[in-house]
Structure 1
């Protein structure tokens, strides 16, 4: 694992919380309420809240809009998996790599804070491939994509997208790209109140090759979510189709 001055000790936990806040459009603080409730962020509701603009909890608790909440809490030990963090800030590797039989451009210049996704999905961990550096794909793994946010933040990501064409040329849904350089133009930028530095933040995802649509510009991939889809169905589509496994930070 590569290390430099831009390690998790330097990327203070408070800065990571600020990155989460920038992505979600709601202040996120460290802490646990001792069980899932409408104020607590976890793996189960993070992905759908980030990608669809809705923060969903267990269906027993229903669905609510994160924009009406003053703040959210996250258990850092349960949400992040530091042993899989990786420092790409000094990486200049131009090796030809594959993930899910698609080109994988490593996020050179960024630091990845790993999200704890192992054993979080009912279909197991095959979608992640095998652990460790390799240039080849392994059976069953999903390709890597990168996702930014709209200028409005988390709200409306499904309705807006990377500028892959005029209007909704490719349809309504979640847009991402396997080109880190393309994605960086859509990163969310924030200035840390902790250290005064400015960062960009992106998501590193795996995307289900059977659920995505390749756009006319082949570096853009779409997970289609038709207009009128219920929040429950939206969440189901998201979890089967695109799974963030890292938050990327880059100082600017």
Structure 2
């Protein structure tokens, strides 16, 4: 798969001009920065509210006063990997922290505390993207030997397992592998070198596979839809990362983009910590299965799936 297609896909999800390393090497992009892989991953995980035993539909002055009046420091990390320190108050709203994020809820509702790192996606007004703000894809970000073309594959009648959960492979899509080997404490979560008995079986202690899209379906993100679908449920945590093991559900939230006159969609493929997420089955939502992880550290994107649409 040409890297120009990946660059177009990442331009769509980041709202920045993303170029290939070949284009960058030709010159003319003074000030262009390398796209930071981990920052890209973290900034495009889709978090949102999770129903708890006490629903807060509004915030009264008393609730505001219950929040500690305390100055803290948060770290804002951009897509280039640059980190900016900000002094804020726990009583500040998300709107005050970054006017384009979410709603008027308090930072404490999102678990933001002292020395937290927030991942920032800059969106420029007016659509103009000067060359100095462009990002380039370094070859070290990718693992082409693990790319896989699922476009002509039909898994009907077969069941694949990863992390002891069913792995619904992205049939009909092309998967671009990200270079995540040796990026964490070990490679067990990937099932690497773990003696898999067959391509359909799980490796010991590997993490199961999920997907997420970064766009909106009927004006709602996967997290917002999930919150509405799960209102009959109660969880121990009030904010979570939403993904799904079904790429057909992720397709509803896939970002559209155009490349060389053709239309495509993009979703991220992840591994999810099986010891942390809450599983909500399709029979409960009526739409599809959702997984909710309490922490972004429990969701690790390792592939980008792209599908050509008519």
Shorter-normalised TM-score: what interval? 0.7 to 0.9
Report what 1:66 is aligned to.
121
CA distance in 2, matches of 1:163, 1:60: 31
User: 2:276 aligned to 193, 208, 211, which one?
Assistant: 211
Report what 1:229 is aligned to.
none
Q: 1:51 to 1:57 in 2, by over 3 A?
A: same
The correspondence of residues 11-90 of structure 1 with structure 2, limited to 5 A, is 12-31=2-21, 39-51=33-45, 55=78, 62=85, 65-68=120-123, 70=129, 71-90=133-152
Equivalent pair of 1:38/1:57 in contact (CA under 8 Å): no
Report what 1:245 is aligned to.
302
Q: Does 1:200 align with 2:190?
A: no
Q: Which runs of 5+ in 1 are unaligned?
A: 1-7, 225-236
Equivalent pair of 1:148/1:203 in contact (CA under 8 Å): yes
> What RMSD over aligned residues (CA atoms) do the two structures have, in Å?
3.0
Q: Does 1:139 align with 2:204?
A: yes
Task: Report the 3-state secondary structure (helix = DSSP H, G, I; strand = E; otherwise coil) of the residue aligned with 2:122.
Answer: helix
Which has more radius of gyration? 2
CA distance in 2, matches of 1:14, 1:223: 33
Q: 1:173 to 1:187 in 2, by over 3 A?
A: same
The correspondence of residues 86-125 of structure 1 with structure 2, limited to 5 A, is 86-94=148-156, 95-121=158-184, 123-125=185-187
1:161-206 residue CA offsets vs partner (Å, 9 max, x unmatched): 26235277365322111112222122111112xx111001111110
Equivalent pair of 1:199/1:249 in contact (CA under 8 Å): yes
1:75-98 residue CA offsets vs partner (Å, 9 max, x unmatched): 331111111000000001221111
Task: Report the 3-state secondary structure (helix = DSSP H, G, I; strand = E; otherwise coil) of the residue aligned with 1:161.
Answer: helix
CA distance in 2, matches of 1:142, 1:64: 24
Paired residue total: 218
TM-score by length of 2: 0.62
TM-score by length of 1: 0.75
Higher mean alpha-carbon deviation, 242-251 vs 209-218, is at 209-218
Equivalent pair of 1:38/1:61 in contact (CA under 8 Å): no
Shift of 1:58: 5.7
Task: Report the 3-state secondary structure (helix = DSSP H, G, I; strand = E; otherwise coil) of the residue aligned with 1:166.
Answer: helix
1:17-47 residue CA offsets vs partner (Å, 9 max, x unmatched): 01011122222123479xxx99431223221
CA distance in 1, matches of 2:223, 2:80: 25
